[in-house]
Amino acid sequence: MSSIPIRRRPPRPVAASLTAAAATVLALGTPTATGTASAASLPCDIYASGGTPCVAAHSTTRALYASYNGSLYQVRRSSDNTTRDIGVLSAGGVADAAAQDSFCAGTSCVITIIYDQSGRGNNLTQAPGGGAAGGPDNLANATAAPTTVGGHKAYGVYVAAGTGYRNDRTNGIATGDQAEGEYAIFDGTHYNGGCCFDYGNAETSNNDTGNGHMEAIYFGNIKVWGYGTGNGPWIMADLENGLFSGVNQHYNANDPTINYRYTTAVVKGEPNHWAIRGGNAQSGSLSTFYNGARPNVAGYNPMHKEGAIILGIGGDNSKGSAGTFYEGVMTSGYPTDATEDAVQASITAAGYGSGGGGGGGSFPSGYHQLIAGNDGLCLDVYGNTSSAGAAIDQWSCNGQSNQQFQFVPGSNGFGELQAQNSGQVIAVANGSTAQGSPDIVQQARNGAASSMWKPVAQSDGSWSLQNQNSGLCLDVYGAGSNQGQQLDQWPCKNAAGSNQDFTPN
């Protein structure tokens, strides 16, 4: 039996031609043990072969050229404000996540620069304020979006509301009515209805300068402007003063809800013609959701693109959005569908989420105690009650049914953690996305995203548990070691042996 939950809030520890392009894909193999692709031709190699070369290439997870051997991004740690560039394991390979883990051990880190691999210097850094919201914007927690690529650990860019990156002084990015292509890989399960989770072409002044002054990929489920089928999220285009799912700012029945765990999103445009495409970044081909004329509203034909690059925000620094970015590029010229199909084949060959710590896995079946890594106590339904709303705390492991939980799989790697004593599931109260509040409870199963968790395997046999609704991880509040200490949700640290890691027993 547990005592009354302790509600103290201790300080949180610092813790090609087209033929050639297609041929390159046939040569692709899965990543090797050193993180390179065999006979590799990576996305920007394929775009170049198709006559539409990359003029910006950003990724925190891997190289986007087979020959790239430079830095992917930079992190800064809070303990002493020093920075470190994170590169690849080898040319054309995946990120050296171990270098980040070592540098950030015992403290927290943010992503300060996302380097441009194209050689044009179109790096992304902290976004300044703009017409919609002040700044500078927040920087992404460097460990909040763990993933794997070909079995190797890596980190994406986790964008919470208020987070944003930008470059207003670019080189080679399309302006005016010039043609361009863009793709990005997003976490299809992390989104909201805020404005605007974008990647692509925007204003250089950080202000809304009128219709047609942007051309960026948008991902989310806002319905203020255009939208597609279902409840979203949808891939749309932010063309400024409107998110477009088709020819106008209205419903497009051909733009589906698309929420693959790893989602490929494509927007491309040329004079009086543009398209939206998308697919599963882990398997299969791209589908076309719109392919036609520019909107028949003043300002969009011709376009007035300005050539800045944004990530996670709108062109005027609107920053109420959420999402996760893994990689993306911008091209010079309008890529053909065949070139993009070859790029998609290269992406699926990379193996996002395929094995290794940080990519999910097979959580043990049946009921288990879940032992917290920081103190050896067990997750516990307070009072051994079956009442909805009862707190989830930690208590000395005793094997009782209120300490026994089973993982009930859902979709995209998420599932529910069901308590044996009550049949209810662990959830974040009221669907909150706030970090730090001790508001983890049990509630009746209803499939809500706030009660869906993704088990992420750690190298020591423990698991972290990431909430689908918030993207945050289940966490012993303040790393407290007291019996009765409640659970909260906090940005994922992905460090085995911590207060976010739980071992089934």
Give one DSSP letter per residue of 52-88, joined into a string.
--EEEEEESSB-SSTT--SEEEEEEETTT--EEEEEB
Instruction: Round to whole Å and give the CA distance between 157 and 10.
Output: 28
Domains contained in the chain, number: 2
Residue 250 confidence (pLDDT): 83
The structure tokens listed for 408 are 């009930």
State which of 280, 315, 350 marks the end of a domain: 350
Domain match, 116 and 213 both: yes
Residue 409 confidence (pLDDT): 78
Residue 362 confidence (pLDDT): 61
Decide if 212 is inside a domain: yes
CATH of the domain at 153: 2.60.120.200
Residue 24 confidence (pLDDT): 39
Structural domain span for residue 76: 18-350
Question: Which position has the token pair 């996760």?
Answer: 324
Domain match, 375 and 314 both: no
Residue 37 confidence (pLDDT): 35
Instruction: Round to whole Å and give the CA distance between 398 and 396.
Output: 6
Decide if 5 is inside a domain: no
Decide if 363 is inside a domain: no
State which of 350, 380, 402 marks the end of a domain: 350
CATH of the domain at 422: 2.80.10.50
Domain match, 238 and 379 both: no
Task: Point out which residues pair with 124 in neighbouring strands.
Answer: 114
Decide if 12 is inside a domain: no
Decide if 1 is inside a domain: no
SS3 372: strand
Decide if 68 is inside a domain: yes
DSSP element (H, E) containing 425 = strand 425-428
Domain match, 333 and 224 both: yes
Segments of the chain scoring below 70 in pLDDT: 1-40, 354-362, 458-461, 494-497
Domain match, 472 and 326 both: no
Residue 456 confidence (pLDDT): 80
State which of 350, 383, 416 marks the end of a domain: 350
Residue 460 confidence (pLDDT): 65
Domain match, 267 and 148 both: yes
Decide if 3 is inside a domain: no
- Determine whether 168 is an active site residue: no
Neighbour tally for 444: CB within 10 Å? 12
Domain match, 44 and 183 both: yes
Residue 146 confidence (pLDDT): 85
Residue 152 confidence (pLDDT): 87
| Residue 441, C-beta contacts closer than 8 angstroms, at least 6 positions apart | 388, 389, 390, 391, 392, 426, 427, 428, 429
Question: Which position has the token pair 């911008």?
Answer: 330
Q: Which of 137, 203, 240, 327 is catalytic?
A: 240
Residue 249 confidence (pLDDT): 79
Instruction: Round to whole Å and give the CA distance between 59 and 75.
Output: 14
Q: Which of 180, 316, 340, 393 is catalytic?
A: 316
Decide if 119 is inside a domain: yes
Domain match, 192 and 304 both: yes
Distance from chain centroid for Cα 1? 40
Task: Point out which residues pair with 276 in neighbouring strands.
Answer: 267, 290
Domain match, 408 and 343 both: no
Please give the sequence-ordered ranges of beta strands (E in DSSP) within 192-280, or none if there are none.
198-202, 215-220, 234-238, 243-244, 263-270, 273-280
Residue 36 confidence (pLDDT): 35
Instruction: Round to whole Å and give the CA distance between 196 and 175.
Output: 21
Domain match, 325 and 391 both: no
SS3 383: helix
Domain match, 438 and 345 both: no
- Determine whether 240 is an active site residue: yes
Domain match, 401 and 323 both: no
